[in-house]
Structure 1
Amino acid sequence: MPHIVQFTAPGEVALVEIDPAPLTAGSVRIATWYSGISAGTELTAYRGTNPYLTSSWDAARRLFVPGEPSFAYPVQGWGYSEVGQIVEVADDVTDLRTGDVVHGIWGHRSDAVLPASVVAARVMPPDAAPILGTFARVASIALNAVLAADVRLGERVAIFGQGVIGLLATRLATLSGGRVLAVDTVEQRLQVARRFGAQEVIDALRPGGASELIRDLTDGGADSAVELSGSDRALHEAIRSVVVEGVVAASGFYQGGAASLRLGEEFHHNRVRLVASQISGVPVRLGGRWDQPRLVRTVMEVILSGAVDAGSLITDVVSAPDVGDIFARLDRGDPSILQAVLRFDAAPLP
């Protein structure tokens, strides 16, 4: 029987059995090999803080409103960084075949049936490490944030949060010609940021905050900043770190209130431009040229070429039945974890 990761209640997650989906016209069946955990987003399901679990999303008005929550426990289907092998192809599918290894979004499940059109452009090269396909989505989020911050050759960009997406953003900003100042509270992550091209690494817990040092190091402030930690305190520091009319791309998934964010100080007096970056859309000014498929193509090109050493960010590959243990570690803030990946039974042995 196929299995899927299920959040049963806050703090409770397990692998449970589900019925197999039928193969329909125009579709393929994929046996999942690997599924990357996006800790920031998925911990909101694990902890019960995701707004869909606490309020109702009005899609027509694009508002969260009081009422019956849009989602309720048990919640299944979380996950957006999957790689697997096509094991069955509908009779009318001609551009894919059994044995093809593809990446895409189908959640933490062992078996998925998807339209062939969804994965036709996502076939992994035969000489590539399949697990690299788990970075397509998270690297796209990082690239979208770098685009939102309008990073240009020679400009200084402060990147707050050096988790997996922050580290990918550091590398992508460096490849774009930016001079990155990487900010985090974990020394091991700052060391990786240095290896990924950051010119300066800064402990976010230093006296006076990161912004004061950034202003000193840049002789007046960074041209832009990207905030990827999801902390309102970090967002406030990002706002304090940029020049007059500098741009701050708020790319973290912020939960709860924002007691540390004060908009009457540097935000107001320096006329800081605060923009939200979220993977459902690209920056408006780039809409005629960029879209989500281009984000994916671009990041996979630089990852598969070796220009971005995404594979080095994988710290934990765990058997899917052990999903509860890895989420407990993530919830505790285990600093040794960067990218955790679930391995399903169909995956080839290393």
Structure 2
Amino acid sequence: MTEQTTPQPRANVGKIPAYVPGKPPVPRAGLTTYKLSSNENPYPPLSGVVEAAMGVVGQMNRYPDMGCTDLYAALAEHFDVPVEDLSAATGSVALIYQILQAFCDPGDEVVYAWRSFEAYPIAVTAAAATSVQVPVTATGEHDLDAMAEAITDRTKVVIVCTPNNPTGPAVTQTALLGFLAKVPSHVLVILDEAYVEFVRMDDAVDGLAVYREHANVVVTRTFSKAYGLANFRVGYAVARAPLAGALRAVSLPFGVSGVAQAAAIASLQAEEHLLARVESLVAERKRVVDGVRAAGWDIPDAQGNFIWFALGDRTADFAAAADEVGIVVRPFAGEGARVSIGEPEANDRLIDLAGSFRR
């Protein structure tokens, strides 16, 4: 009798680590709870965005514009880039998956800092590529010299996450240009700028200027964070036309919904209001950082809409203590906890927790 077998996925599929999303808060009687685990924008949609989205909801029986024509035109005008240099997808994370799918053969190496964005090892493994993780510094920064040294003949892609999620620091333009000078021209460099709107530092990276000067750089950005469209999942990449074309070639047909496209366009048009909200979040970030440091914590520089507590084996205890006061954080077991900048009341509770938690 022939032995019965079942279909088996590729070997790498069984090795893909699970993505752990930020969990919602536990409801507590008499206490407003806050979700500070997913780096979401605490503000409601910008003016005009809901109206723009609702204008498309009535067309849900029709497919969206697969070519994202109006969205590309709006992005091209807003950032002064050619339409041919754009690629949109369901969040910037989808673009990272597409880049690895388009450029990596099985076994090719992808170099990135660690700890960094949780989706990187998932995307690398899904592409049957090999992760080369370079430890961040003691202050949570990219060690760009070590990353350059980690590049080998098998390296196809390097990822620079700036600001780095979840630790917070951003690289400088000077350091990035020095790093790019060491990267072979055939190696693709992803500049992941999901939190670019929150950066306030000297010599900040100008991702669009970098892409204009370096043919091997892809800049990825998102509408999920500063623009507050996390539920709609729309991100975009800016790269030289051949690279952007490769991303569009492997993209999921009709991947960006018409509602998401309309909301993104309306969000770009509401930039004045967006910038005011971002400034409020940046001010709250400074207040939280100052308060946490005043409580005795040595936390890294924060350039995103979150801060990082390096807690080691106390991480679970910290997350539990946060839960008790009605805020939920994002723990990384044995390493630390990332806490989003949220509503002022939530931020007050975090500052109080920093003062009371046993260090």
TM bin (shorter chain): 0.3 to 0.5
More helix by share: 2
More strand by share: 1
Normalised by the length of structure 1, the TM-score is 0.37
Greater length-normalized contact order (CA 8 Å, ≥ 6 residues apart)? 2
